[in-house]
Amino acid sequence: MASIRVAVTGAAGRMGREVVRAVSGASDMQLVAAVDTKEAGDSGVLAGVGANGVKVVTDLAATLTDSGPDVLVDFTVARAAYENVSTAIAHGVRFVVGTSGMSNEAVAELVRRAEGAGIGGAIVPNFALGAVLMMRFARAAARYFPACEIIELHHDGKVDFPSGTAKATAHEVASGRGDSVGKGHDGRGTYVEGVPVHSVRLPGLVAHQEVIFGGPGQTLTIRHDSMGRDSFMPGVLLAVRKVMTLNHVVLGLDPLLD
């Protein structure tokens, strides 16, 4: 079977370099393009895996035409991700997006464009397999507890809040208990689908979340911790492989696990 040809946007960033390392170590994948806002030399050297001849360039459209990737993996910022995925769709390239912070309207537009073109893709708030299980468990627990709050904790370089994982978890909780209300603020946090969400940004953190349920005489806490960015890579590689079989877009990693 031919290797899956992968392009990475945000290749010079912390997550992008991790993706370059993961793709370089996957026997069924080949890194063919690396893109960032500034040229940064050889992507393999930057990622610490040795020279691979794939230089970090700035022109995504040109490099998609020249390198012919099967899948684009994007870890950038919300506005750039929207533009990058739009460019990928225009070039007939499947996509895996780990960037959070895109509006619901932006995501819906990308889904519409991709499905109109018959292009598979995945937009995933958290690639850690443990985080996916945390959301599944939260949905199940929501049926039995009257109250729930979410605390999400990330490194101080994460600009969006609440995190995409927290929003997705709140959706699972609301769906599990069969109710949902609008967003709002009460001075303690932000409400997402009726679930209070508290955001913490501190140096020393990577990605962590607690889902705390409360009922008469008891609480239940479901917690997930990513201690390093390598925790996301098995999920990224799984998504790259799975989108090769899709002609539509999935939201979250959960649909790709079954």
Residues recognised as catalytic: 154, 158
Residue with tokens 């039995």: 144
* φ, ψ of residue 246 in degrees (nearest 5): -105, 150
Separation between Cα atoms, residue 61 and residue 96, nearest integer Å: 17
Q: Are 155 and 206 in contact (CB under 8 A)?
A: yes
Tell me, rounded to whole angstroms, the distance of Cα 177 from its chain centroid.
Answer: 25
Report CA torsion sign: 201, 202, 207, 212: negative
Report CA torsion sign: 72, 78, 79, 80: negative
Q: Are 19 and 238 in contact (CB under 8 A)?
A: no
Residues in the chain: 258
- Beta strand 71-74 with 4-9 is parallel
Half-sphere exposure of 37 (CA within 13 A, CB side): 8
- DSSP letter string over 107-127? HHHHHHHHHHHT--EEE-S--
- Beta strand 190-192 with 184-185 is antiparallel
Separation between Cα atoms, residue 72 and residue 82, nearest integer Å: 12
Separation between Cα atoms, residue 157 and residue 160, nearest integer Å: 9
